[in-house]
Structure 1
C-alpha cells in the first residue's frame, strides 16, 4: 500500500491537492476513452451513492480505463471531487488503508468492530459532505474474507449520495448485488463495454510505431476482439517482426509466447482440471449449446457453464433460433484447440463426430459439415451428404459446400449424385450451360460406376429433377422426357419436393397445365415441413406461372403476392425466385390495368456485373423484360423504349419457350406502337416469328402492324385463326384478337359485327379481369363509350375500363360548370328538356341555355353527338 498525504494536527489534510502516489502508473500512455469517461461522469453526477462494478478478465483494461479517468478527466469534469484509490493486497488492512486514502481520522477511543463496524465508522466520518467523493477499489475480486465482504456490502449499501464507488474485479465479489440493483444504484460494465474499438486499437498501435492498414486492422480486431492487453502485445509483436503485417497477423492466429504467457499465467492456470477439460472439448466447435457441450464432455455442462460465468471467463452468449449459443474468445479457443490436438487425433476425430451429429440434429448443417470434413474417415460424410447436401444447396451454401469438398474430400466429388447437386446449384444461380456440363459429367460417372453414395432412388429422382429443370431453363423441348404418372412416396421431403417442382413446371410449359398444377401442389405440400423456405418459395412462384399460363390472371397475382410474402418472412428478398414472383405480380397488375409500384420496376430492371465483366439482369431475362415493359408504359423516360427493345432482343437471342416469351413479345410490340416506333415494332415482330414461329402472339403482333397500316380486311383474316374455338390461344391473346376484330369491322362499317366482337372481348376480359388490351388496341375504349350501358352483366367491367382509361384521355374542350355537368348526366336517360327542368327546379329556357353551352364546349351540335363526345372524353 502507498502512503497517505500529510495531515495537520487535527487529522485533516493540509491541502485539497489530489494524492497520486497510490494511483497506478503505467509504462505506456493509455489510449483516451471519451466514451468511458462520459459513462463514469454519469455515475458520479447521479449523486445517489452509486456503484460501478467493472468486471473482466486480466488485461481487458479495467484499471487502465479508470486510472486514466481519475488522473486526466475527473480533475476537469469535477475539480472539487475527492479521490481515494485502493488496490487490494492485504484484506486485513482493507479498512485502515481506505480510511487513510479518504483522509478520515481514526476513532477517538478503542477500535470499531471488524468488517461492518469499520465500514460504518468510515461512513460516519464522511458525513453528509456535498463535495463528491470517488472511491476506487481495484482487484476487488481478491476480497474473500467474510468479515471484509460484509463490511464492503455495508459500505456500498449505506454510502451517502455524494460518494461514488468504482470496483474493478475479474469477477463479482460474492455480496448481494441485487439490493443495489433494486434501488437503481448499481451500474455494471463487462469486458464487452471495455473492448477497444477499431479506432482505439489503431491509436494504440500507432503509439507503438505500428501502422496498420484497414485490412490488417480488421484482422487484428477479429483475433483480439478489442482485448486491450492482447492488442498491445500484438502491436509490440508486429513492430518487432520483420515480416509483412499480413504474414505476422496470420502467425498470431497461433498464440505466440507472449499471448500464451498472459493467458496461461493469469487466467488458465487458475482454472480447475474439470474446467480445463471442459474448455478443451468445447473449443472444438466455434460455438456450442449446452446440449452440444453435454455431448462433447459426457454431461454436467450446465454446472460448468455456470462456474465459467461466475468467474467471468471470457465467453460470449447469444440467443438464436430459441437456443443459447456460447463461444470463447478466439485466442483462448486457439489455445484450447492446440490442447485438444496434443491429446491425439482419435480424440479430436471423436469430438468432431459428436459435434457434427448434434449440429445435424438441430439443423445447423453448414457447421456440421465443417466438423465432418475434419474427420479423416469420410464414411459419415457420405451419409450426411446423401441426406442433407440438397438442403445446403437450397440454403445458398452450394458454392461453399463444393469448394470445401474440393479441398478436404475431392474423392467425394466424383460421385454422380454430387455432380447432379452441382448442376442443381448452377441452375439455381441461373447458369444453365454450367448445369448441363455437370449433368453430362454425372452421366459419365454413373456409366462408369452405377453405385452412388445416395442410393439408386435418390440418384434417379435427382436425375429426373435436373433434366426437367434443364429443359425449362434452356427452353428445349421436354417431350422426350418421360415423367411418371404418379409421384413416388416421399423419401426426403426436399428431394421429392424439388422433383415435383421441376417436373410440374416442365409439364405445364409443354401444355399439360392441369397435370403440372397437380405436381406443383404436391411439391407445396411436401415442402411445408423439414425443407428450406426457398423450395416453398419456388413452388408457389411456379404455381403462379401455371395460373398465368391458364389465363387466371387474378390467381397468378395472388400466388405471386404469397410468394413475395414468403420471401419477406424468411429474408429471401435477394433470390432470383423472389424477383420472378415480383415480375408475375407486377405483370398481372399491368394486365389488369393497375399501375405497378416504382420499387417493383427498379427491382426488375436491376442489373449486375457478371463474371465475364459484362452487365446482365439480376434474375434472368424474363423479369428484366417485364421491368423494362412497365418502365416504358408507366414512366416518362424517353430512353425506356430503347431499353425495352434491347431487353426483348436479348430474350429472343436466348430462344425462349414460346409459351413464356410470346406474350411478352406481343406486349412489347404494343408498347413500341404506342410510342410511335412502328419500325422497331415491325423488326421485333419479324424476329419473333423467326424464333418462336407462327404462334398466336406473333400472329396478333402482325395483325397489329397491319391495323396500323389501315388494311382492316387483312386484319380480319389474320385474327380469325386465333379466335377459332380450336386454336387453344391464351385468354389475353383471344381478348386482343377480338378487339382487333372489332376495330377492323368498325372501320369497315359493320356495326353488328363490331358490337358482337366487343361483347366477346368484354366477356373474356370480365372473366379474368384483364383490361390492358383495351388500352393497347386503338379505338376500343371509344367503342365502349359508344355502347356504354348496353353490355348487360359486363357493363360494370366496361365502366371500370373506361374509368381506368380516363387519365390517359386528352380532353381538349373547356371544362363544364357544375350545373352543365348535372344536365349532361341527365341526357342518357332520354328524359325531355321539360322533365330535366322540373327535376332541377329551373325553367325550360335555363336548361336550353345550359345545353347550348354544353354543345359549344364539347364541339357538338346535338344531344347524341354530345353523349358520344362525353363518353369518349370520360365525362360519362
Structure 2
C-alpha cells in the first residue's frame, strides 16, 4: 500500500515548466483539475513536480491506481488511508467492509469530515483511466459535490473520465490541461536537450519540435540518442527521427497499439496511409461502416488521434510513422497499393486532386499522378514553393521511362523549382513536341497554360525579356477565357514578367505588372512571393525618386517575411537612405544581403556604393550627358533635381543670382516631397554656400536639416574590419597622396623618395588592403577608417590604428 500512496518518483531529469506549474496552482483553487493526454505526455511528471515544489494549497494525498482498483471497497480504503497518512482527520469514517461496494453513508460522513477541515485537502489520482466507467467514478463525483470547497481533486488520465465535465465547465469548477498545453515549446525543448548534454542548431531544434509536436516521451528519447553527439551527428539523427525508430516504436507498441482490440488495430493500419482522415474515407479504406464512432472513441481515449478544426481526424505524426512502418511490414505491396488507389479515387471524387496525385504516385500510377497535377494547374504551387505534398519528394522515385506531355511538364516544373534551366528547357521541348504532334492528351487548356507559364519563368531566368513578354502574353490570353486560373500561377508569371521589365528599364510597365503580381500573391496567401514583388516595387520607386512610396513597399515586404528579406528590399532601403543621406543606414542595408543572385538588386547596390564612394573620395561629378538638356526625357526625380541644380550653378557662375535662386527653388520644390537630400549634398560647394545665405529659402525647406551645413564627413563603418598587418606611417602618407589622385612621379617628388620606393609602398598597401587597383584600395581605406575627409574635400590619414 505504501508504494501506491507515495508521490510518484521522477528518476529522469526534469525541465522546470513554470507555465504549467502555474496552471496547476490555479486549477487547484477549484474542485477539479483534469490532466488528460496520451501516454508519455508528461502528466505524472508535471503533477509530481508541482507537489514536490510545495505549490499545492493544502495537505496532499497521492494515489497511483492500478487494474483492480475500480472496486469501490478497495478504492475508498486507499483514499481513507492516504488522507489519514497525510494528516487529514478522518478517524470518524469507518473503513469499507466489502471490496465490491460501499454504503452511501460512508461517502456522506467522509464529505462532512473533509468540509470541516481547516485547510483544503488535495487528492491526486494518477491513472484514472484504470477506474473505467464503474461505480467509483460516480462516487468521486458525489464526494466533489458535497466536499466543496475543501476538497480539491487532481485527476491524471490517458482518457477523459465519465464525470459531468460539461457541467463543471459551465460552473467554472473544472480546469483542464490537455496535450496542446503539455506539449513542449521550442525553448523548453532546448532546455530538455541541455539537461541531457545535447545541443542542436536552431533549424534542427525547430525540426525536432515539429516532428514530435512537443510530445515529451518522443523528445526524451531523442535527447538520449543525442547525448555526447557532434552537431553534425545531431542534425542527421533529427532528420531521421520518426515513429519507425526502434525505441519510439517499442514505446508506441507497448503503451498504445498492444492495448487495442484486433479490429481497431486493423482499422488504424488501413487508415494511416492518409494524413487527414475523414470518416467517409476511413469507411472506404477500412471496409467498416462505423468509422466516425471509432475515430471519436480513439480521440476521446487520447490514443494519439485528434480531431481537427474542420471535423476531420489525424494521427500524431510519430504514431502515424509507426503505423505505416507496421503496415509495410505486415501487409503485401499489393494491399498497400490497393489502399493508396482507394484513397486517390475518393479524394478525386471530393475535388482534392492534388492530394490524390500523391497517393497515385505512392501506388506507382505515375502517369495518372502527373496528369492530376498538371490538369489541376498545381504546378503553380510547386513554382511558388507552396506545394503540399512536396512534389519533389513525391515524384523523386518516378522511373525515367514514364513519358507523355503531363510527365514532361511536371519534370520541367520540378527542374525550374530546382533552378536547373537546362533540364527545364529539355523537358519543355518534349512537352511542346507532344503538342505539335497532336497528341490527344496534349491539347488541353491546362497543358498549354502550363507550358506558357514555364516558358515565362525559363526566359526570365535567362534574362530574355522579349520571350518573357511573349510567353506571359500567352498565359494572360489563356487565363482570360473565363475558366479559373490559380492565383499562385498568375502570381509567379506576373512576378517573372515584372522582374524582366524592370531589368529592361521599362519602368511603367514593370510597375503595373509587379502590382498585379503582389495582388495575386496576396490572394493566394503567398507571403514570400508577395514580398519579392513588393521589394521590386520598392526598388523601382526608389530609382524613380519616389522615396516615400518606395519606403511603404519596402516596409510592407519586411513585415511579411521579417529578417529573411528578398535582396531587392535591402537594395531599395540602401537607395532610399543614400538619397536621404543617411549613410550609416544605407551601409547597413548594403551589407544585409550581400550574397544573392538578383541582378537588378546587384546593379542598384553598385550604384549606391558608387555614390557613397564618390563622396568618400571626393570625386567631382562628370559633365552631364546631352540628354539631360531636355527635361521631358528625364525619367527619375533625382535626375530632374540635378538638372535644376546644374542650371542654378551655371547661373551663379555667370553672376545672375536671381536666376540661380529661381533654379535652386525649383530643385528644392521637386526634392521636398521625397526628402531627397543627396543631390543637394553633392552640389558644388559654391552653390551650397549660396543656399546657406538664402535664409528665406532655407526657412521654407527645413527638411534639408544638416544637408546645407557644408561638406559632410563620411564616417567609417561602425564596426570596421581588421587588418592582419597594419599600414606603416610611410604607407599611410602614400595612401593619402593616392587619394589626392597624384601620380607615382608626383608622390615621389612630394615625399623626396624614388619612384621605385613609391611603387614598393603601393604594392604593400594593395596587399594589406586586399585590393587589386588604386581606386579599390582608396575605397577599402575609407571603409576601414584609414582615411578621413577634411571639410575642403581633401584627405588626411586617420589616427585610428586598425590591426590585430
Shorter-chain TM-score: which interval?
0.5 to 0.7
Matched, 1:121 2:102: no
- Specify the alignment match of 2:680 in structure 1: 774
How far the C-alpha of 1:123 sits from its partner, in A, is 2.7
Match of 2:268 among 279, 289, 297: 279
Q: Given the superposition, is the C-alpha separation of residues 127 and 506 from structure 1 closer, same or farther in structure 2, using an over 3 Å criterion?
A: closer
Name the SS of the counterpart of 1:167 in structure 2.
strand
SS at match of 1:312: coil
Is the aligned partner of 1:154 residue 2:142? yes
| Alignment partner of 2:367 out of 367, 379, 390 | 379
Given that 1:136 and 1:165 are in contact with CA atoms closer than 8 Å, whether structure 2 keeps it comes out as yes
Q: Report the CA distance between 1:525 and its aligned residue.
A: 6.1
CA distance in 1, matches of 2:238, 2:534: 52
Question: Which of 309, 312, 320 is the equivalent residue of 2:302?
Answer: 312
| Aligned residue among 622, 645, 648 for 1:742 | 648
Q: Partners in 2 of 1:620 and 1:560 — Cα distance?
A: 20
| Corresponding residue of 1:617 | 595
How many Å apart are 1:165 and its aligned residue?
A: 3.5
What is the 5 A alignment of 1:16-415?
20=2, 22-23=4-5, 30-31=11-12, 33=14, 35=16, 50-57=31-38, 87=66, 88-89=68-69, 91-93=71-73, 94-102=75-83, 104=90, 114=102, 116-126=104-114, 128-130=116-118, 133-144=121-132, 147-159=135-147, 163-181=151-169, 185-190=173-178, 228=217, 253-254=243-244, 263=252, 267-268=256-257, 270-271=259-260, 275-288=264-277, 302-316=292-306, 326-328=314-316, 330-331=318-319, 333-335=321-323, 338-339=326-327, 342-345=330-333, 348-349=336-337, 351-352=339-340, 371-386=359-374, 387-395=377-385, 401-402=391-392, 405-408=395-398
SS of equivalent to 1:171: coil
**8 Å contact from structure 1 (residues 287, 326) kept in 2:** yes
CA distance, structure 2, for counterparts of residue 400 and residue 760 of structure 1: 57
For the 8 Å contact 1:316–1:326, the answer to whether it is kept is yes
Q: CA deviation at 1:417?
A: 3.5
Cα distance, 1:200–1:786 mapped onto 2, change above 3 Å: closer
**8 Å contact kept, 1:314–1:328:** yes
Change (3 A) 1:478 1:470: farther
Matching residue within 608, 622, 629 for 1:723: 629
Q: Which residue of 2 aligns with 1:465?
A: 456
| CA distance, structure 2, for counterparts of residue 575 and residue 351 of structure 1 | 43
CA distance, structure 2, for counterparts of residue 111 and residue 361 of structure 1: 63
Pair 1:232–1:463, CA change in 2 (3 A): closer
Alignment root-mean-square deviation, CA:
5.7
CA-to-aligned-CA distance 1:179-198 (integer Å, 9 cap, x gap): 55556554444466777976
Q: 1:532 aligns with which of 526, 534, 543?
A: 526
1:421 corresponds in structure 2 to 413
Residue 558 of structure 1 is matched in structure 2 by: 549
**Contact 2:208-2:238 at 8 Å conserved across structures:** no
Would the aligned equivalents of 1:224 and 1:231 in 2 still touch at CA under 8 Å?
A: no
CA displacement, residues 550-596 of structure 1 (integer Å, 9 cap, x when unaligned): x4x33x74266246425624x476242xx4145336635654x4758
Any idea what SS the aligned residue of 1:489 has?
helix
CA displacement at 1:268 relative to structure 2:
3.5
Q: Contact 2:344 / 2:359 at 8 angstroms: preserved in 1? A: yes
Give, in whole Å, the separation in 1 of the partners of 2:507 and 2:206.
Answer: 55
Whole-Å separation in 2 of the counterparts to 1:294 and 1:533: 38
On the 8 A contact 1:137/1:167 being kept in 2, the answer is yes
- Aligned residue pairs: how many? 673
TM-superposed CA distance for 1:465, in Å, is 1.3
Decide whether aligned partners of structure 1 residues 517 and 294 sit closer, same or farther in structure 2, where only a CA change above 3 A counts. farther
- Assess if the C-alpha contact under 8 Å between 1:233 and 1:259 holds in 2: no
1:702 and 2:622 aligned: yes
Structure 2 residue corresponding to 1:804, chosen from 704, 717, 720 = 704
Q: Tell me by how many angstroms 1:749 deviates.
A: 3.7
User: Would you say 1:488 and 2:477 are equivalent positions?
Assistant: yes
Offset, 1:150: 2.8
Shift of the 748–40 alpha-carbon distance from structure 1 to 2, 3 Å rule, reads closer
Tell me how far apart the structure 2 counterparts of residues 73 and 234 of structure 1 sit (CA, whole Å).
25
Deviations 1:713-738 (CA, angstroms, capped at 9, x unpaired): xxxxx555521368566453343234
Residue number in structure 2 paired with 1:675:
616
| Counterpart Cα distance in 1 of 2:354 and 2:431 | 27
Give how far 1:606 is off. Answer: 1.4
Q: Per-residue displacement from partner, 1:350-385 (whole Å, max 9, x unpaired)?
A: 554666688899999997775454231112321244
Give the Cα–Cα distance (whole angstroms) in 2 for the partners of residues 110 and 755 of structure 1: 107
Distance 1:506 1:274, change over 3 A: same
Give the Cα–Cα distance (whole angstroms) in 1 for the partners of residues 394 and 95 of structure 2. Answer: 78
Contact kept, 8 Å, 1:372 with 1:381, in 2: the verdict is yes
CA separation in 2, counterparts of 1:287 and 1:742?
Answer: 71
Flag the 1:134–1:502 CA change in 2: closer, same or farther, 3 A.
Answer: closer
Structure 1: tracts of 5 or more residues without a match: 3-19, 428-433, 608-615, 628-647, 649-663, 682-700, 704-717, 790-794, 812-876
TM-score, normalised by the number of residues in structure 1:
0.60
Query: Take 1:484 and 1:737, find their aligned partners in 2: how far apart are those partners?
Result: 38
Show CA shifts across 1:276-310 (max 9, x none).
45433442234557787677668866543332232
Task: Provide the rounded CA distance (Å) in 2 between the counterparts of 1:518 and 1:218.
Answer: 39
Unaligned runs of 5+ in 2: 85-89, 712-804
